[in-house]
Amino acid sequence: MNWRSLTNGQLLQGAAGHFDLLITLDQNLRFQNPAGEYPLGIVVLVTKLNDLATYRPRFAEIRDLARQTKPGQTNLLQIS
């Protein structure tokens, strides 16, 4: 499966068959799983910079939120 060429709905459907959780920067993705249609937890990282140095200090917090996120649930984490 070529994950890069999928629309958001196709991505969620495909990922739900392989993963329990999706961590993304795509803020629009949270609107693609209304009412937990897909059995997949989603964590959206809200940030202005897509750079590892931005996330590294927050890895423990990201991990903890990922562990708390249940299938069908979407959680946001603001990273400045």
Domain region containing 45: 3-78
* Helical ranges in the chain per DSSP H: 8-16, 52-55, 59-68
pLDDT of amino acid 77: 96
Residues 38 and 32: beta-carbon distance below 8 Å: no
How many independent structural domains does the chain possess? Answer: 1
- pLDDT by residue for the chain (80 residues), tens only, comes to 666 676 767 878 888 888 999 999 988 877 776 667 888 899 999 998 888 898 899 999 999 999 999 988 999 999 97
